[in-house]
A and B are shown apart, each in its own frame.
Chain A
């Protein structure tokens, strides 16, 4: 995956003001954005998915322009073909596991029927061992089962990239380690590029091929950090 991102966004809430300014490009299939809560990780991920519109900049993915403030391009989230795993999974509470997984395949005004089987849905039900739970509702599932359902729902449309928002924070620690292993294996098997945001160092260790450190809306690592270091060295040289 070739991602090239350079965005700016200012949020105002009363007297408080938050400036997000993120710029990076990467060829990695496993990008981890690491930072404390409130650092702008989720905003960055939402911008890639098209759920928020940056004030300025551009986002390019494998040659496709998703957003460009200069040309006025801003693809709707529906047209970006991304998979997004929300922090608490955002499963549709009124639909069964089967209907949740098949949700994106039905494009009309009606939800997929409960009793109609679909090849792709069946495949993912089996792949994630969800077959016995196909007719259950999200409220009846355990944390791990919810995550598998959400992953299946996100991956069924063969997305260009998988965006993960703190994917393990809603799980208890024992399960967390297990699900990390599952996601790791899944990503290697499918080869789907992913961008994961987290405040958990264990996630960085497990998935971080290209790690970006985000703090108060600014990146502090990767190429930016190297440029900064270069600048410091140059300044030092000039000084001596």
Chain B
């Protein structure tokens, strides 16, 4: 039974890190795609959206090939820093980040695109720097759209199964997240463990949704 709580803690840790990474990268990429015109913009958008439509196991396989000891990147990480991402919770974070990334940058891009550029022009004439404009006008006005995506991404990362299993494996107490633990419990015929895990998962999801409705500012008056 104790393993259920370990799995829950690990799942929350992995999903939390993945969400934090996606918040920074997703907002940055969403802003870039919304505001900067550059060759290959549509291609970049397509590539970054791929994780939403590809089977997670395929993504997991790509990651294995990319990060494994035999790849250039994996060998370099191992030889230089002594880091191996395969079969670690950090590997699970990377898998969860990539799988849930489109859920953050897509709504962020849409939110940035709907902002009235004239408001930024007004701030510019009033003497506020470009960085100031981003934090005082652009981000606050896009925040609701971004937050909605971030919460969805957190839920998606929490439920990640396929890519995580491929990359991080299924090591109880180390890389065994909730969704992987449920699968194993059912396979092993441990119905009581499975029941508990499923209940815990459902409860966590309800809590996330309730937190979401609290976190999102109740009302932003618009003209």
Do A and B interact with each other, yes or no? yes
Q: Which residues of A contact B (CB under 8 A)?
A: 49-51, 76-84, 86, 88, 90-94, 103-104, 107-111, 137-140, 146, 153-154, 157
Q: Which A residues are CB-close (under 8 A) to B116?
A: 90
The complex places the Cα of A110 from the Cα of B116 at a distance, in Å, of 20
New contact pairs (11) apart from A90-B118, A107-B132, CB-CB < 8 Å: A76-B124, A77-B121, A78-B127, A86-B118, A86-B122, A90-B119, A93-B221, A103-B123, A137-B221, A138-B223, A153-B126
The complex places the Cα of A94 from the Cα of B144 at a distance, in Å, of 12
Contact A139 B135 (CB under 8 A): no
The complex places the Cα of A146 from the Cα of B223 at a distance, in Å, of 10
Smallest Cβ distance from A61 to chain B, in angstroms?
14
- Among B98-130, those with CB < 8 Å from A are 116, 118-119, 121-129
Contact A94 B220 (CB under 8 A): yes
**B222 near A: Cβ within 8 Å?**
yes
The complex places the Cα of A49 from the Cα of B122 at a distance, in Å, of 10
The complex places the Cα of A94 from the Cα of B124 at a distance, in Å, of 17
Q: Scoring B residues 185 to 223 as 1 if CB is less than 8 Å from chain A, else 0, what string do you get?
A: 000000000000000000000000000000000001111
Q: Which B residues are CB-close (under 8 A) to A139?
A: 221-223
The tally of CB-CB contacts under 8 A between chains A and B is 79
Selected from A84, A91, A93, the residue in CB contact (under 8 A) with B125 is: A84
Smallest Cβ distance from B103 to chain A, in angstroms?
24
**B136 near A: Cβ within 8 Å?**
yes
Q: Which B residues are CB-close (under 8 A) to A110?
A: 135-136
Contact A93 B141 (CB under 8 A): yes
**B43 near A: Cβ within 8 Å?**
no
Contact A90 B136 (CB under 8 A): no
Contact A111 B136 (CB under 8 A): yes
Residue in B closest to A87 when the chains form the complex, CB atoms? B118
The complex places the Cα of A185 from the Cα of B91 at a distance, in Å, of 68
The complex places the Cα of A50 from the Cα of B127 at a distance, in Å, of 12
Contact A109 B125 (CB under 8 A): no
**B137 near A: Cβ within 8 Å?**
yes
Selected from A84, A94, A107, the residue in CB contact (under 8 A) with B129 is: A107
Residue in A closest to B123 when the chains form the complex, CB atoms? A103
Residue in A closest to B120 when the chains form the complex, CB atoms? A90
Contact B127 A157 (CB under 8 A): yes
Residue in A closest to B116 when the chains form the complex, CB atoms? A90
Q: Scoring B residues 131 to 168 as 1 if CB is less than 8 Å from chain A, else 0, what string do you get?
A: 11001110011000000000000000000000000000
Contact A109 B118 (CB under 8 A): no
Smallest Cβ distance from B126 to chain A, in angstroms?
3
The complex places the Cα of A108 from the Cα of B118 at a distance, in Å, of 20
5 contacts between A and B (CB under 8 A): A49-B125, A81-B127, A104-B126, A104-B127, A139-B221
